[in-house]
């Protein structure tokens, strides 16, 4: 998705959805593929981000002198930051296609959304090349950084890019020479490209990204949105249980007992620490196991047999009974 064609395919692909009521049963192969992809639950974080991005776009659309206000999505690993970022980009892309009369290709050379990953230990020139690669801007080894940046800014402006999403922003460290140069490059791009910038990174506020003069400039322009793990309870609401219910309702297993996963919500929260990424992986792997062994339902035994990501497994400490002699 870090090139225009790839992001367009992602944005315009049919959304994975559970079978409609009354639809003919799907084959085992179809259901294996379905649970491998599985659904993307529209969380409150996605809705809030979409609303804030629309507001920032309106706020910055007539701003000519300084950089437009931006947005940073932060939170721990596995909290769904990249998913939220991509879903906002997808919604904006589809809205642009609808305005163009349903034309998926870049009508008149217009490219509404750009998605760029910060490479590890990226210098400014390396990062500029990533921006160029997204739109297929020709570059050569002999080109200077200034030439690449000028070409990027000119092409992005000509393509009328309105939303630039930069992921893995926590990889930038302004305390290092290369990190400082990359931070300066991003500041330069925000001032020369007429787009709203969105960033995503792990625990950004705890990284050096907001320190020093460069960090102060970013902090003064960007709103911080926390994408935290789902709490088991928030006042009278149970956000995590609602998330489990949404995922369980999307299962396509012939013998699964509705509501059994919701009843296991306390266990699932302890197992995943409330992280949507870990929960999604746990349910997907359990569903695939249930299809593979023919049981076609998820039980606690099925869930216990799944080995999750190390972060979740490290957090989860099942109670064990001991007997003394």
Instruction: Give the tens place of pLDDT for each residue, 100-112.
Output: 776 555 445 689 9
Q: What is the dihedral of CA 8, 13, 16, 22, to 10 degrees?
A: 160
pLDDT tens digit string along 167-201? 999 988 888 888 888 888 998 998 899 899 999 99
- Reduced to 3 states, what is the DSSP secondary structure of residue 44? helix
Q: Which structure tokens are listed for 240? A: 């995590």
DSSP 254: T
Closest by Cα among 220, 211, 2 to 119: 2
**In contact, 73 and 199? CB cutoff 8 Å:** yes
Confidence of residue 291 (pLDDT cuts 50, 70, 90): very high
Q: How far is CA 34 from CA 47, 245, 255, 308, in A?
A: 24, 18, 17, 20
Give me the residues paired with residue 259 across strands. Answer: none
At residue 65, φ and ψ (nearest 5 deg) are -90, -60
Is 132's pLDDT higher than 50?
Answer: yes
pTM, two decimals, is 0.85
Radius of gyration, alpha carbons of the chain = 22
Sign of the Cα pseudo-torsion (60, 119, 7, 26, in order):
negative
Residues 6+ apart with CB under 8 A from 35: 251, 252, 284, 287, 288, 291
Handedness of CA 10, 224, 62, 192 (dihedral sign): negative
Q: How far apart are CA 210 and CA 220, in angstroms?
A: 10
What would the two tokens of residue 25 be? Answer: 């049963």
Average pLDDT over residues 298-316: 84
């Amino acid at each position: 998705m870090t090139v225009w064609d790839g992001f367009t395919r992602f944005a315009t692909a049919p959304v994975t959805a559970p079978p409609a009521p009354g639809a003919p049963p799907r084959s085992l192969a179809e259901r294996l593929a379905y649970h491998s992809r599985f659904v993307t639950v529209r969380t409150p974080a996605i809705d809030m981000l979409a609303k804030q991005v629309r507001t920032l776009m309106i706020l910055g659309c007539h701003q000519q002198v300084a950089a437009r206000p931006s947005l940073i999505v932060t939170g721990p690993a596995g909290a769904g930051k990249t998913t939220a970022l991509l879903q906002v980009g997808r919604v904006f892309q589809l809205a642009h296609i609808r305005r163009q009369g349903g034309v998926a290709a870049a009508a008149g050379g217009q490219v509404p959304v750009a998605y760029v990953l910060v490479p590890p230990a990226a210098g400014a020139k390396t990062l500029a090349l990533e921006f160029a690669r997204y739109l297929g801007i020709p570059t050569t080894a002999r080109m200077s950084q200034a030439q690449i940046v000028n070409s990027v800014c000119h092409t992005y402006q000509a393509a009328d890019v309105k939303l630039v999403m930069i992921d893995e922003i926590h990889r930038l460290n302004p305390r290092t020479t290369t990190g400082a140069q990359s931070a300066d490059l991003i500041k330069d791009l925000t001032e020369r490209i007429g787009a709203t910038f969105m960033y995503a990174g792990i625990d950004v506020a705890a990284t050096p990204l907001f320190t020093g003069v460069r960090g102060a400039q970013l902090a003064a322009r960007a709103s911080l949105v926390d994408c935290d793990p789902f709490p088991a309870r928030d006042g009278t609401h149970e956000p995590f249980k609602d998330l489990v219910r949404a995922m369980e309702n999307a299962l396509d297993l012939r013998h699964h007992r509705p509501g059994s996963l919701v009843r296991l919500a306390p266990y699932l929260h302890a197992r995943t620490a409330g992280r949507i990424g870990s929960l999604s992986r746990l349910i997907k792997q359990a569903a695939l196991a249930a299809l593979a062994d023919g049981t076609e339902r998820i039980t606690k035994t099925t869930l216990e047999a799944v080995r999750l990501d190390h972060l979740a497994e490290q957090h989860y400490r099942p109670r064990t009974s001991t007997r003394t002699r």
